[in-house]
């Protein structure tokens, strides 16, 4: 079997990758819905793929893996890798999890991710009401993550929150509109700002109790001493993790030594990793035990096998894994389910993406309905990623110039 074409069409806001072969099989991968601009970057890799056997996934990846980088420049390579596994699974008649070593669990745990509700404001009461809605969501999540501090509009809405300069143009990335760099604020917190964050976490824990775990996306943007103060103050509340305090999101480096200082100072688990590309860039974080939990996104880290490698190496060093995935769409969801079924027992949960807009559910076949039950997704057994386009339904959402995407 040989690769005869690489196609990319932006469907909704997600660049969708299609690897075409001479055997009548195609594989699909998907880039985050926050990156519609990446189509030319995907097509950049086409000359390297043509003529290769897609079922030798690693051999193909050796040709393109070096031509990527931290988020968002690892996304195209990652989506191509997913599409290769999809073809390899279809060719073998096996689900991708079998090709990655077999599943170690029949259901994979997810946390709320893209299931969230508009915040009325930034007060403790607003936070309590917001997580109450998430707790009541029909998916029955056993872990909920909420954005606070620099990963929220607190710097804009809470007077004297920090000593740095406020960026008035900041908009939450969760509305899909990047009118500015995401989460641009960084600097020392005031005592009032720190107390406000702690009060909001206490208000959320009062709602969730010990029934539903609470994780907090915090930055990036914290100074090391403030991060230590927050982590120590929250120790009695047993939060699941504090994410991306120092670096993360779109930061193209990790600062493992600074993270190690925070982690060593507290029993509160520290988490990072969603923007990191390739196993090599996790080496410092893992070998220095700089954080307790890693959160690579298969659509940014370099793909499914890359995520599994990072999870296994983390497990050898006593670290846990909770993959990012909020914007990965429905093909990305299928990829997350397949790889997370195979991860070692340091696996916590992955961040659940939605099909956005909602018509995505009309054009992708193979997902269970409902998808999430009691916070878990049943691992399916169809070949490849186990989902496919309803081509006739999907055609009408193809943009001008890409009408031949499925041909």
Instruction: Summarize as ranges the residues that interact with Mg ion (CB under 5 A).
Output: 217
26-30 and 107-111 strand pairing: unpaired
CB of 244 to Mg ion, least distance (A): 5
Residues in the chain: 407
Residue placing its CB nearer to Mg ion in the complex, 65 or 271:
271
Geometric angle at alpha carbon 338, from 316 and 369, rounded to 5°: 135
CB of 251 to Mg ion, least distance (A): 11
166 token code pair: 């406020």
CB of 275 to Mg ion, least distance (A): 9
Give, in order, the Cα–Cα distances in Å from 99 to each of 278, 295, 308, 331.
20, 22, 12, 18
Q: Enter the DSSP assignment of 160.
A: T
CB of 149 to Mg ion, least distance (A): 12
- Cβ count within 10 A of residue 264: 12
Positive or negative: CA dihedral 363, 366, 371, 375: negative
Q: Which residue is nearest to Mg ion (CB)?
A: 217
Residue placing its CB nearer to Mg ion in the complex, 52 or 217:
217
Residue placing its CB nearer to Mg ion in the complex, 95 or 220:
220
Long-range contacts of 396-400 (CB under 8 A, 24+ apart): 397/11, 397/12, 397/359, 397/363, 398/9, 398/11, 399/9, 399/10, 399/11
CB of 185 to Mg ion, least distance (A): 15
The SS3 assignment for 231 reads: helix
- Cβ count within 10 A of residue 316: 11
Q: Cβ distance 86 to 28 under 8 Å?
A: yes
Residue placing its CB nearer to Mg ion in the complex, 39 or 186:
186
CB of 353 to Mg ion, least distance (A): 13
Positive or negative: CA dihedral 350, 352, 355, 361: positive
Residue placing its CB nearer to Mg ion in the complex, 26 or 247:
247
Residue placing its CB nearer to Mg ion in the complex, 111 or 405:
111
CB of 344 to Mg ion, least distance (A): 22
CB of 24 to Mg ion, least distance (A): 40
Helices marked H in 265-359 — which ranges? 283-287, 304-316, 329-340
Which residue in the block uniquely carries the two structure tokens 């499925």? 406
Residue placing its CB nearer to Mg ion in the complex, 301 or 385:
301
Residue placing its CB nearer to Mg ion in the complex, 42 or 230:
230
């Amino acid at each position: 079997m040989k690769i005869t074409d690489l196609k990319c069409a932006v469907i909704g806001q997600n660049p969708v990758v299609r690897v075409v072969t001479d055997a009548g099989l195609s594989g699909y991968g998907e880039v985050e819905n926050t990156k519609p601009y990446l189509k030319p970057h995907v097509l950049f890799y086409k000359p390297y793929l043509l003529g290769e056997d897609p079922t030798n996934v690693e051999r193909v990846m050796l040709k393109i893996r070096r031509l990527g980088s931290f988020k968002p420049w690892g996304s195209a390579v990652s989506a191509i890798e997913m599409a290769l596994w999809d073809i390899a699974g279809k060719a073998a008649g096996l689900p991708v999890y079998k090709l990655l070593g077999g599943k170690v669990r029949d259901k994979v745990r997810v946390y709320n991710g893209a299931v969230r509700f508009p915040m009325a404001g930034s007060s403790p009461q607003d936070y309590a009401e917001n997580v109450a809605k998430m707790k009541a969501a029909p998916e029955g999540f056993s872990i909920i993550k909420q954005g606070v501090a620099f990963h929220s509009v607190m710097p804009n809405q809470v007077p004297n929150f920090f000593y740095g300069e406020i960026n008035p143009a900041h908009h939450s990335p969760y509305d899909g509109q990047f009118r500015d760099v995401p989460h641009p604020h960084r600097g020392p917190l005031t005592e009032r700002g720190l107390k406000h964050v702690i009060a909001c976490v206490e208000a959320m824990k009062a709602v969730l109790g010990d029934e539903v775990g609470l994780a907090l996306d915090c930055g990036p943007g914290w100074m090391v001493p403030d991060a230590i103060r927050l982590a120590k103050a929250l120790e009695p509340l047993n939060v699941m993790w504090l994410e991306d305090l120092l670096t993360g999101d779109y930061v193209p480096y990790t600062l493992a030594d600074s993270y190690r200082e925070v982690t060593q100072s507290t029993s509160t688990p520290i988490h990072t990793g969603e923007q990191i590309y390739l196993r090599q860039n996790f080496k410092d974080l893992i070998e220095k035990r700089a954080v307790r939990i890693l959160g690579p996104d298969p659509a940014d880290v370099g793909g499914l096998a890359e995520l599994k490698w990072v999870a296994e190496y983390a497990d050898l060093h006593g670290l846990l894994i909770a993959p990012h995935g909020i914007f990965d769409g429905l093909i990305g969801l299928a990829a997350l389910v397949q790889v997370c079924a195979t991860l070692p027992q340091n696996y916590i949960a992955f961040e659940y993406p939605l099909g956005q807009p909602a018509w995505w559910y009309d054009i992708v076949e193979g997902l269970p309905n409902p998808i999430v039950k009691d916070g878990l997704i049943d691992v399916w057994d169809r070949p490849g990623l186990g989902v496919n386009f309803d081509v006739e339904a999907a055609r009408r959402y193809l943009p001008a110039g890409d009408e031949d995407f499925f041909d």
